[in-house]
């Protein structure tokens, strides 16, 4: 345990939470929570496309919210940092695709092994080495590539839904200039909701239901581990932690517990395997929302992440109802709110990737690959953005790596 970074702990947690609450971090937490709830649609779409049983898909999504929500309450509370927890989207797509091939129980067994690998990596303190081998400009190039799609999805509704999109976007900028004490996201959301009400949004299709995660026993096969477990372990250690740590550091936090995050990702993923869930890890887009300047003072932004966890735990069992509520909203509503919430994070990521004079080519390749969304051997673009970005930088920007400089100057 010597490599796990110490946090503030849970002493005086209720008092500190109430003391640090503000309109800004509560708003950011609500926005991130709503965004996270909408991400369940990705799981439903992936599961449906893979031909999975609808009953299992709903259990999978509900476990996603409840288990991730529990760890989303604990991790930011312990470290007092904006570290919301969710799960790996590339892992979700791979999980859905591999179940018809190897079966559910073996896929969950592979999840258990992947979590153990991540746990050992965190406990062994390897993340400091991993983060040293992956320079921050390359990490931030990858992050910027991921977030760019949120920016483009924010503006594309101007083509098909110009009036409501223009109202929400303009309201955000005007209120940020004129209403300094009111978070502009709140004003933009209120304007969007007012438009929906005025145009007669249909709520007749809402259905109420309650479901809880169900225990299942994983099985172990080599085929499932090679097809899914090993790629998931690489995603957890090589992509999810660097992306989350890079985002938080990009917002000005100097000390971010990379080993602790990786260990928690692994332990929580092992727990997830017993409840039909493929992973638990730091949530990059929601981390961007919770750690952004829109979430208020830096030392209070952890409250936003805790609120995300609370939303997940409370809404998870009722997700069938919340999913039908989200479905009644036009797609542009969530897309615009998420894009507005992540704008400052995107600009910061681009600045850290390209403002300096080191690893520029590697950062550019990482940005382009992450933006492309390519998948190779079932592994998502974020992972390959880091791998190929580092490879390009090693070839063309060798001297930018500090450890190579030291080796070159050591006497033979």
- Per-residue pLDDT at 218: 93
- Per-residue pLDDT at 182: 65
Distance CA 63, CA 306 (A): 18
The phi-psi region of residue 58 (left if phi > 0; otherwise alpha if psi is between -120 and 50; otherwise beta) is alpha
Under a CB-based contact definition with an 8 Å cutoff, are residues 244 and 282 in contact? yes
Distance CA 261, CA 243 (A): 11
pLDDT digits (tens, 9 = 90+) for 18-59: 999 998 889 889 888 887 887 776 777 677 767 788 888 889
Handedness of CA 156, 40, 85, 272 (dihedral sign): negative
Q: Is 278 helix (H, G, I), strand (E, B) or coil?
A: coil
pLDDT tier at 205 (50, 70, 90 boundaries)?
A: low
User: Is pLDDT above 50 for 407?
Assistant: no
Beta bridge partners of 376: 379
Q: Which of 58-72, 76-90, 139-153, 315-329 has the lowest mean pLDDT?
A: 315-329
**Using alpha carbons only, what angle is made at residue 364 by residues 337 and 133, rounded to the nearest 5 degrees?**
100
Residue with tokens 């953005």: 385
Straight-line distance from the first to the last Cα atom of the chain, in angstroms, rounded to the nearest whole number: 37
Residue with tokens 């309109």: 23
- Per-residue pLDDT at 100: 85
76: number of Cβ within 10 Å: 27
What Cα–Cα distance (Å) separates residue 405 from each residue in 189, 355, 396, 400, 411? 51, 22, 14, 8, 12
Angle between helices 162-178 and 136-155 (to 10 degrees): 120
pLDDT digits (tens, 9 = 90+) for 181-193: 666 777 887 888 8
Within the chain, what is the greatest distance between any pair of CA atoms? 77
Beta bridge partners of 86: 281
Angle between helices 136-155 and 331-354 (to 10 degrees): 150
pLDDT tier at 410 (50, 70, 90 boundaries)?
A: very low
User: Is pLDDT above 90 for 11?
Assistant: no
pLDDT, average across residues 297-316: 92
Distance CA 95, CA 104 (A): 9
Give, as one character, the DSSP assignment of residue 145.
Answer: H
- Per-residue pLDDT at 272: 94
pLDDT digits (tens, 9 = 90+) for 318-362: 887 766 666 677 777 877 877 777 777 678 778 878 877 788 888
Token pair, residue 296, equals: 């208020």
Alpha-carbon 180 to chain mean position = 29
Answering whether pTM is above 0.85, one says: no
What Cα–Cα distance (Å) separates residue 252 from each residue in 20, 81, 122, 130, 352? 18, 12, 23, 20, 11
The average confidence (pLDDT) of the chain is 82
pLDDT, average across residues 72-76: 93
């Amino acid at each position: 345990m010597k490599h796990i970074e110490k946090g503030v702990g849970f002493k005086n947690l209720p008092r500190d939470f109430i003391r640090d609450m503000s309109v800004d971090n509560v708003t950011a937490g609500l926005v991130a929570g709503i965004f996270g709830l909408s991400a369940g649609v990705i799981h439903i779409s992936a599961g449906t496309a893979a031909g999975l049983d609808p009953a299992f898909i709903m259990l999978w999504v509900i476990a996603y919210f409840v288990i991730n929500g529990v760890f989303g309450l604990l991790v930011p509370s312990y470290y007092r940092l904006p570290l919301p927890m969710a799960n790996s989207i590339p892992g979700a797509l791979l999980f859905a695709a591999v179940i018809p091939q190897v079966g559910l129980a073996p896929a969950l067994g592979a999840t258990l092994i992947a979590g153990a690998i991540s746990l050992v990596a965190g406990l062994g303190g390897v993340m400091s080495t991993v983060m040293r081998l992956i320079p921050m400009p390359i990490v931030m190039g990858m992050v910027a590539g991921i977030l760019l799609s949120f920016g483009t999805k924010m503006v594309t509704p101007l083509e098909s839904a110009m009036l409501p999109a223009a109202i929400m976007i303009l309201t955000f900028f005007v209120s940020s200039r004129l209403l300094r004490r009111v978070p502009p996201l709140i004003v933009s959301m209120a304007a969007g909701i007012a438009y929906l009400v005025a145009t007669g949004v249909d709520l007749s299709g809402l259905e109420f239901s309650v479901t809880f995660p169900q225990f299942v026993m994983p099985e172990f096969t080599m085929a499932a581990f090679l097809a899914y477990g090993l790629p998931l372990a690489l995603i957890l250690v090589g992509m999810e932690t660097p992306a989350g740590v890079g985002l938080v550091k990009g917002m000005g936090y100097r000390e971010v517990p990379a080993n602790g995050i990786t260990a928690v990702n692994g332990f929580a993923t092992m727990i997830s395997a017993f409840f039909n869930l493929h992973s638990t890890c730091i949530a990059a887009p929601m981390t961007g929302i919770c750690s952004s300047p829109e979430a208020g003072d830096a030392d209070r932004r952890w409250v936003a992440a805790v609120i995300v966890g609370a939303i997940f735990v409370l809404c998870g069992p009722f997700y069938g109802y919340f999913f039908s509520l989200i479905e009644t909203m036009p797609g542009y509503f969530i897309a615009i709110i998420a894009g507005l919430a992540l704008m400052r994070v995107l600009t910061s990521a681009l600045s850290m990737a390209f403002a300096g004079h080191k690893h520029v080519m590697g950062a550019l390749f990482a940005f382009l690959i992450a933006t492309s969304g390519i998948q190779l051997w079932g592994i998502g673009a974020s992972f390959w953005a880091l791998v190929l970005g580092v490879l390009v930088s090693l070839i063309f920007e060798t001297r930018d790596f500090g450890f190579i400089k030291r080796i070159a100057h050591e006497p033979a």
